[in-house]
Amino acid sequence: MSEMKVNIREARSNDAGVILELIKALAEFEKLSHEVVATEEKIRATLFGETPAARVLIAELQTESGVTNAGFALYFTTYSTFLAKPGLYLEDLFVRPEHRSHGIGQKLLAELAQRTLDLNGGRLEWSVLNWNKRAWEFYARLGAKPMEEWTVHRLTGSALEKLAKETN
């Protein structure tokens, strides 16, 4: 087997197609492909426009035969009122199944941990699907602890629109 090198880099505007491809691969893995409405244009506008909503790291796997986009991490800044410190929220972490067990996910998380510390941040957080036991085990090996008393709540679609109308 050829030697592999992992490079973690900040995504650029011209990576919108790569990001979309990785999002679609993540959605397929999570059996949620039917929910993806993202396009390259939307990604370019929301991640690389005047006010970026989030940032993306791309994991490139370099082998003797070339460079492959093996995974990504999409994250944004949060704030802890209790700590009075910023933090990072990891919205998506994905490594293509064929490239797992090479330390790519750990390198992406290590970069995010460093970026959290660079902000003088207090925490790095994310959510994990309950059925994804392999991810739970991976995060536990890194020292991450589930927040068992907390449940994610979400407003979308018509419920979000209905609540927003109450401001008028």
Q: Which residues are catalytic?
A: 139
Sign of the four-CA dihedral 49, 52, 53, 59: positive
How far apart, in whole angstroms, are the C-alpha atoms of residue 62 and residue 98?
14
- 3-state SS, the chain, equals CCCCEEEEEECCHHHHHHHHHHHHHHHHHCCCHHHCCCCHHHHHHHHHCCCCCCEEEEEEEEECCEEEEEEEEEEEEEEECCCCEEEEEEEEEEECHHHCCCCHHHHHHHHHHHHHHHCCCCEEEECCCCCCHHHHHHHHHCCCCCCCCCCCCCCCHHHHHHHHHCCC
